[in-house]
Amino acid sequence: MHFCLYSKVMRLRMIILILALFAFLSASTGGWLYYFSYQDAAFQKTESNAYSRLTLLTRQLSTHLSEHIKPVKTLSGIRELRTALETTNLETIFQANEILDHFTENLDLDVSYLLDKTGVTLCSSNRNAQDSFVGKDFSFRPYYTDAIKAKPATYLALGTTSQKRGVYYSHPIYDTSGSTILGVAVIKSSVEFLETTLFSKSEDILLFADPNGLIFLSNKPDLRFKFLWKMDEEKLNTIIDSRQFGNGPWGWAGFKKMDTGYITGGQGREYLFSGLDVPHYPGWQIISLRNHKSIKKQVTEPFIRVIGPAVVFILILAGLLVFILYQLAAQEITRRMQAEKKLRLSEERYRHIYHKTPIMLHSIDREGRIIHVSDHWVEIMGYQRDEVIGEQLTRFFTKESRRFAIDIIFPRFFSTGFCKDIPYTYIKKNRGKIDIMLSCYGVRNEEGQIIRSLAVSVDVTEKNLAQKDLQIAKEKLSQYSLDLEGQVKKRTAQLENAQTNLKNLSKNIITSQEREKELVAQELHDHLGQVLTALRIDSVWIEKYLKKIDAKVWERAERMSSLIDHTIQDVRDMAYRLRPRVLDDLGLSDALESMVSDFENRSNVSCVFRHDDLPEIDKTLATALYRIGQEAVTNSLRHSDAASILFELRTDQEGIVLTIEDDGCGFDPDATGKNGFGLEGMKERANLAGGKLTIATSRSQGTKICCKVKVKG
């Protein structure tokens, strides 16, 4: 192995030495040829590079100069500016100034201002500065004259007030109909930042001149606001009249065009001239002036300075390269041999892990034959390794698993190269069966074709048995739930029957109570009332008889007559409360009205009774509603301290609605206290009558009791 490595290194050294000598001779010959062509190529390349830089600079400058066209259009559409032009007052001027301040600050502008139809500045973001535009007349500016004619404009100029260079953007402001121009919105952005950013980085002389050749921007400060060429008197007067660049004077920069195509400047220097028009700014040009002598010097000096030591340097460099390449080649061969050794160790480690891992692993080729199996696989299946290598994997499947694998899984796997959690059933050598869950991925060759698989089989036999037991338990639990549900329904029916019996019992008790009250009331009215009436007749006779005989006895008889009168009235009231005859004679409405009137007479509470015409109802329902109303009014008088009670008896689509509402102190419905039996009694009566009673109340909010009863027919 060492001899082979030495031989490879020697051959590689000879090859590198030959290549180094050939490279030296080629470089020497090519250097002389290159010198003669380099000078011309350098000038052409310089010209091309200058043109490319100039093109890029032109695009950048055009982009920067046009960046505020859309903002000024947006500014012109803001409602506050239109309002300030339509209705000029302190409020509208203040709002417009705030908008202008916002635009100036956030867009980093020099100034934003608003001109009216006459060109006078109405609002401005520099209103508080010494050079404020407010009140200034800019109607002479082309950006105003164009905008007032519905043509948005961009204008490069020197500020007449600020004496600062800038680019002006203007846009007309229309009324709400969009047909009438009210004024012009203007923003000014400084160009000094563009000059510093775009021009200062160049070693050439860069100029930005207007159509007349007046230099507006330059990386040479002494050339600003000078004419590139000599200017005649007529054009000079035109510039003075426009006031675009101030009041002058504007000198001549001293440049002249030569027949050779070059331009001469001060001190007789020659310059290569390149100029490009700026898009969207007709006549304006970016001009590049490159010193011809400096370019020639840049071409020749490197050769003069480098050509002498270049040969020695190349020879030294070739020797170093041979030595370095020799060392690198030897190291590369050593690294490759070490890598091969590590690869063999890695493969051995992989085989060891593959065979000794406690998981069933196997690999198959494209024909489905087994090419590798782990020790755990043959141990679980009960085979020797040579008994399974080369055999079809499906041989160890049940019929169902074999059909499933051949028809579905194998085509899918060799198409996608992956499958996961595929359920199979293996048949062991002793004919026993195990359930497994198989996952595998495909190993591909350089062409991307699957050449073999690496599969993992997990024994899930115990898990499947547990799942079957769990399913059986679930079925038993479901059957138990059904049985329990039947028992619950049976018990529920028994409870409902008991509740019905209890309801009937309560109904019978209340009916019996009402019947007893009716008998007692009748007995009090018919018997006791007649007896008391007879006593009163006798007492009146005795009173009249004794009046002339004995005054003291007469007074005694008079008091006895009065006592008999009160007793008769109490008996009548008692009989009425037990069973009002008006309920039987005239019906529920009149009985409730009589009861409300009686309560109002016996208290200081205002009672109001309202009712609709009621359909015919049976005696039991009428009695139940009467007793509910009686109990509700009694509770209100006793406990609520109410000033008024509203009593309503209405009908709706479903039946009868009885409502008793007071403005008293209310109570906590969750803690009814001693009034609990009365409320429960009312609910019980409503329930027995086939209705529902609701109570709405809270502390200091009064009480509202509502009973709804359905009426059949």
Q: Tens digit of pLDDT for each residue in 560-589?
A: 777 877 777 666 666 656 556 656 666 777
In sequence order, the 6+-apart residues with CB closer than 8 A to the CB of 520 are 575, 578, 579
Q: Which CATH number fits domain 67-190: 1.20.1250.20, 3.20.20.120, 3.30.450.20, 3.40.50.620?
A: 3.30.450.20
Mean pLDDT of 119-137: 87
pLDDT of 692 > 60? The answer is yes
> What is the band of 2 on the pLDDT scale with cuts at 50, 70, 90?
very low
What does the pLDDT average to over 434-456?
86
Q: Average of pLDDT values for 422-448?
A: 87
Query: Which of 262-266, 273-277, 613-617, 692-696 tops mean pLDDT?
Result: 692-696
**Given 3.30.565.10, 3.30.450.30, 3.40.50.1220, 3.40.50.720, which CATH number is that of 587-710?**
3.30.565.10
Mean pLDDT of 286-307: 67
Confidence class of residue 296 from pLDDT cuts 50, 70 and 90?
A: low
The rounded mean pLDDT for the chain is 77
Residue 37 pLDDT exceeds 70: no
**Predicted confidence band at 29 (pLDDT cuts at 50, 70, 90)?**
low
pLDDT at 1: 45
Confidence of residue 617 (pLDDT cuts 50, 70, 90): confident
Range scoring the smallest mean pLDDT among 33-42, 282-291, 404-413, 640-649: 33-42
Class of domain 357-459: alpha beta
For residues 121 and 138, the answer to whether their CB atoms sit within 8 Å is yes
Average confidence (pLDDT) over 464-478: 86
Q: Is the dihedral of CA 292, 294, 300, 302 positive or negative?
A: negative
Categorize the per-residue pLDDT at 524 as very low, low, confident or very high, splitting at 50, 70 and 90.
Answer: low
Contacts of 161 (CB under 8 A, 6+ apart): 131, 132, 133, 136
**CB under 8 Å, gap of 24 or more: what pairs does 173-182 form?**
173/76, 173/77, 173/81, 173/82, 173/85, 173/114, 174/76, 174/82, 175/82, 175/86, 176/82, 181/117, 181/148, 181/150, 182/82, 182/85, 182/86, 182/116, 182/117
pLDDT tens track for 88-119: 888 888 988 898 889 888 888 888 989 988 88
Quick one: what percent of the chain has pLDDT higher than 90?
Answer: 2
> Of the candidates 272, 259, 292, 298, which has an alpha carbon nearest to the alpha carbon of residue 51?
272
Burial class (CB in 10 A: 0-12, 13-18, 19+), 487: exposed
The per-residue pLDDT for 172 is 93
**Tens-digit pLDDT profile for residues 472-499:** 888 888 888 888 888 888 787 777 676 6
Q: Using one digit for the tens of pLDDT, what is the confidence trace for 494-516?
A: 776 766 655 565 556 556 665 66
High-pLDDT (> 70) share of the chain, %: 76
pLDDT tens-digit profile of 532-545?
Answer: 676 777 777 777 77
Q: Which of 63-67, 132-136, 317-321 has the weakest average pLDDT? A: 317-321
**pLDDT band per the 50, 70, 90 thresholds, residue 123:** very high
* Per-position DSSP letters for 603-617, written without gaps between them: SS-EEEEEEPPPPP-
Confidence bin at 33 (pLDDT 50/70/90): low
Burial class (CB in 10 A: 0-12, 13-18, 19+), 601: exposed
